[in-house]
Chains A and B, each alone.
Chain A
C-alpha cells in the first residue's frame, strides 16, 4: 500500500476516534511521503475531516499512533507541536479572524512576526504568499478579512498556510481548498501545489471535485465509514472507479433530459438589460425553469440574488430605476455559507426546517406544534436527511446534511422562486446527486430556480445560464449550446468586448 514506507513524513497507524456513540474513525493507516500529494476522498461523514484534525493536532485520537519525520509524536501531539514541525492546514470552515486584517491574521499564526515593524513584515509576507499562489489576486493586506468576499478569504487562508517565517512548511492539509474559489483561482492553487511538492512539501488534498483529485494527486485514498476502503496511485483511476469505491449507488447519468425549456411558464423574475453598462442580455426566469448564474466568483452574482430576494419583499430595500429586478411571487434563499447565512446553531433539525414558513403555518400568530413537527418530519424524509429524528441538534450533522436541512427549509416555504447561492459547496457527490434530482422534480412541479454556482459542472442542470463579469451579464447560454469554453470566454469578457458586440 505504501510505496516508500521508510520515508513517509507523516505516518498515522491504527487511528481510531469516536464521538459519543458515533464512530468516526475505526483504525486508519495513512502515510504521507514528502514531496507527494495524497488525495483523500469519501462521503460527508466518512471521517476525512476527523482524520485531518487528528493529523493537524486539533483532535486527540482514542487509539493509534502518530509518527512525524520518523519520530513517535503520539504523546503531546497538539496544534502547537504540529505547527512547530511544519504541519499546516487550510480548513473548509475558514479559520481566519474576520475582525482583523489580512496581515494581522498572519501574525496570529507566526509568533516570529513580533517586535518593531512586525506589521510591515506581515504585510510583505502575505503579499508575497498571495502573489506566489494567486497572481493578480488584488487583495490588500490591510483589508479587514471580514470585508472580503468568501473566495478571497479562502485565498488568504491558503496563502497563510504556505507562508513561512521561522519554521519550514513540511506538510499542508488542504480540506476543500477550492470549494469557494472560481475556476481560475483553483487552477492557480493546484499549479502551486506542484511547485511546492518539487520543494519537498507534502500535501493532503481533500476535495469533492474528483477531477481535481485525479488530475493532481499522486495517490488517492478512499475513506468509507471511518476506514480506508482503498489506496492506489491516481494514474489509471477514473471518476467512476472512485465513486464506486466511495460506496455510491451510481445513478443513471444525468442531467435530466426532462427539461421543458419551453419558456411558457408564468414569469417569476425579470431584469431588463442595462444599456448604459453595455449589457445586451436581460434576465428572465419562468415557472418550471432552472436558471444558472456563472462567471468568476465575486462578479455580482451574489448581489443579484440578494437584490432579487429584496425585490420579493423580504427586508432590505428593493432597487428602483434602470435594471431593477422584478420578482412576481414569493422567494426563498439558500446560501452555501451555512455558518454565517444559514443555520440556527442552538436549534434542532426540525426548527431549522420550519423557520421559513412559520408565518404561513401560524393561525393568529400561534404555531400548531404538532403540524409543524409532522411537516419537518416529512421534509427530513423527503430529502433523506441522515439523522435519527427531527429533534437532533443541527450541529451534530455533517456539513452535507446541514445543507440539506437548508434546502428543505427553502422547499418547505413553497416559494415560487428559489434563489441558490452556491448551496452545494463542500457537499459530497452522493448528496449533490440527490439534491440535483430534487431540484429537477421541484422545477417540474412548477417552481423556478435561480442558481449561482462556482462549479461549472453543475451548469448542465440548468435550462439556461447567464454569465456575469464585473457585475454585468456578458452571455446568455441555452442548455443546448452550453460549453465550458463559452462560459470561460464570457467570464473574462471586458467592457471593450461588450461595447464591440453591443455597438
Chain B
C-alpha cells in the first residue's frame, strides 16, 4: 500500500477529502451528502485553476513562486466585467481584456525575474501590489455586472456536477499529458530537478521558465474572470484567499515543493479537502477559533503522510 501510494502522491489528499466528506455526511445522517460534494467541487475549481499555474511555477525549481495571483485575479475580473458592461455582446471584448491582463502580468513578472534578476518571491509580490492598485483605481468607475452568458456557463450543471468543474478536470488531464509527453513539459520537469544539468543537456531553460510564468498569469486571470461571474461581479478582496490556497493545494496535492515533479490530479483532492473541511466544521458547529486549529491539524496530517519519503 505504502509503495503503491509512493508512486501516486495524489492519493493522500483524495483519501483525506473522502474521509472528511464521509464524516460530515454521517453526522447529518447522509442528508444532502451529494449536494455538499457538488458545492465543494464548484468552489474547489477556482482554487484548482490558480493551483495549476502555481504548480507549474513551483515545478520550475527552488525559488520559483508566483505571489501576484490575487492582484492579477482582481484586475482581470474588473476589466473583463467592465468591458463586457453586463452584456453578452461585450463578452468577447471583456474576455480578451481579462486574458490580456494575465498575459501582461506574466510578462511583467518575467521582466522582473529574468531581466532585473529579482528573486521571484519578492518580484511577483511587488507586481501583485501594482496590479491590485490598478484594480482599485479602475473599480471607482466600474460597477458592471458580469455578462449573462458567462454567468450561465459558470452556473450550468451536467449530471449533477458543475460544468466548470468538468471542463477543468479535462484541462488538468491535458496538463498532466503535457508534462509527460511534450518538449515543454519534459524540459520543465528537468529544469526543476537540476537547472545546471538541464542547461548542459541543451534545454531551453530561459524560454521554458518564461512560458511557465506567462501560463500562471493566464490561469490567475481566468480564475478571476470566472469567479466574478460566479459571485455576481468583481470585488476588491476576491483574490486574497487564493494566494495561500494556491500554494496549499499544490503542496497538499503531492507536487514536489523543491520542483521537478508535478501532480495535477492532486490539486483536486487538495482543493476539495480544503472546502470540505470548512463544510464539516460548519456542520459540526465548531467555533471560529477552534476551526483554524482543526484546519491546520488536518493539513499537517496529510503532509506528514504524503511526505513519508525525504523531500
Contact = CB atoms under 8 A, between A and B. Distances in A.
Given A359-B183, A366-B182, A367-B186, A314 B194 contact: no
B182 A362 contact: yes
A367 B260 contact: no
A344 interface: yes
Interface in B188-208: 189-190, 193-194, 196-206
A342 B197 contact: yes
B202 A314 contact: yes
Contact of B201 (A345, A369, A409): A409
Interface residues of A, number: 27
Given A344-B190, A344-B193, A355 B201 contact: yes
Interface stretch (A61-69, A320-328, A332-340): A332-340
A315 interface: yes
B197 A314 contact: no
B260 A344 contact: yes
Interface of A: 309, 314-316, 332-333, 335, 340-347, 351, 355-356, 358-359, 362, 365-367, 369, 409, 413
User: Chain B: interface secondary structure?
Assistant: helix
B246 interface: no
B202 A356 contact: yes
23 contacts: A314-B200, A315-B206, A333-B200, A335-B200, A340-B197, A341-B200, A342-B194, A343-B194, A344-B260, A345-B193, A345-B194, A347-B189, A347-B193, A351-B186, A355-B190, A356-B201, A358-B183, A359-B183, A359-B202, A362-B182, A365-B182, A366-B181, A369-B180
Nearest to A332: B202
Most buried by B among A332, A355, A366: A355
A60 B202 CA distance: 41
A42 to B, nearest CB: 28
B199 A365 contact: no
A367 B181 contact: yes
Given A346-B256, A346-B261, A365-B184, A355 B193 contact: no
A365 B205 contact: no
A343 B203 CA distance: 14
Contacts of B260: 344, 346
Given A345-B194, A347-B193, A355-B186, A369 B181 contact: yes
Interface in B231-274: 256, 260-261
A342 B200 CA distance: 8
A315 B183 CA distance: 17
B68 interface: no
B175 to A, nearest CB: 14
Nearest to A338: B197
B187 interface: yes
Contacts of A314: 199-200, 202
Given A344-B193, A346-B256, A358-B187, A367 B200 contact: no
Contacts of B187: 358
Contacts of A345: 193-194
Contacts of A340: 194, 196-197
Contact of A341 (B183, B186, B196, B203): B196
A408 B49 CA distance: 39
User: Which 9 A-B pairs have CB atoms at the shortest separation, nearest pair first?
Assistant: A344-B193, A333-B200, A367-B181, A314-B202, A356-B201, A362-B183, A358-B183, A365-B182, A315-B199
A383 B251 CA distance: 39
Given A343-B197, A346-B193, 7 more contacts: A314-B199, A333-B202, A340-B196, A344-B260, A347-B190, A355-B201, A359-B202
B205 A315 contact: yes
Contacts of A342: 194, 197, 200
Nearest to B200: A333
B202 A413 contact: yes
Most buried by A among B182, B198, B256: B182
B200 to A, nearest CB: 5
Nearest to A354: B186
Contacts of A355: 186, 190, 198, 201, 203
Interface string B202-222: 111110000000000000000
Contacts of B197: 335, 340-344
A343 B200 CA distance: 11
A362 B197 CA distance: 20
Contacts of B194: 340, 342-345
Contacts of B180: 369
A335 B251 CA distance: 33
Contacts of A347: 189-190, 193
B134 to A, nearest CB: 34
Nearest to B256: A346
